[in-house]
Amino acid sequence: MINISWQGYWIWLAVISTGYYLVIYLLYYRHDLKAWIHPKPYNSDGIVPASESIIQLHVEKDAERLIDSCMDELNAFFEESRRKKVMKEELIYSLQLLLKKYPSLKDSEYKESLTNLIATQCEDTCLVRLNADEVYHVWLG
């Protein structure tokens, strides 16, 4: 039989609990810990300059919202076009009008993905095959 004293029990309980909460803290708050250990330098006015990573994070979130909005609109457009059975020229013109709402996507890293989605959706949903030149003209709108 193992003989454990109350003092030993409480010490081990404290050690295990501390280790557990330390691991949880490091998993969830490691970015805050890095910022605390390596603080950003102050400028001559004593003000911490805006971190480019925070600005980049906001830009990425805005871009994600924009791309999600565009994707939702494209999906709704393709479903409507499938129901109406539109002609190829009407489809291209309508896509040009739709993409005019999102001028920042024209030069973004998402352009190729959206182009592939448009070509695939045209073929699969609307049963209209667009060649590379026609898909390129969709962005010119």
Name the token pair of 122. 């045209």
The pTM of this model reads 0.55
| pLDDT in the model for residue 47 | 55
Per-residue pLDDT tens digits for 17-27:
999 999 998 88
The mean per-residue pLDDT over the stretch 36-51 comes to: 62
Q: DSSP letter for 104, please.
A: G
The three-point CA angle 39-44-49 to 5° equals 45
pLDDT, one tens digit per residue, over 66-117 is 888 888 888 888 888 888 888 888 888 888 888 888 888 888 887 888 888 8
Q: 53, 54, 29, 51: which is closest to 40 by C-alpha?
A: 51
Residue 120's CB is within 10 A of a number of other CB atoms, namely: 12
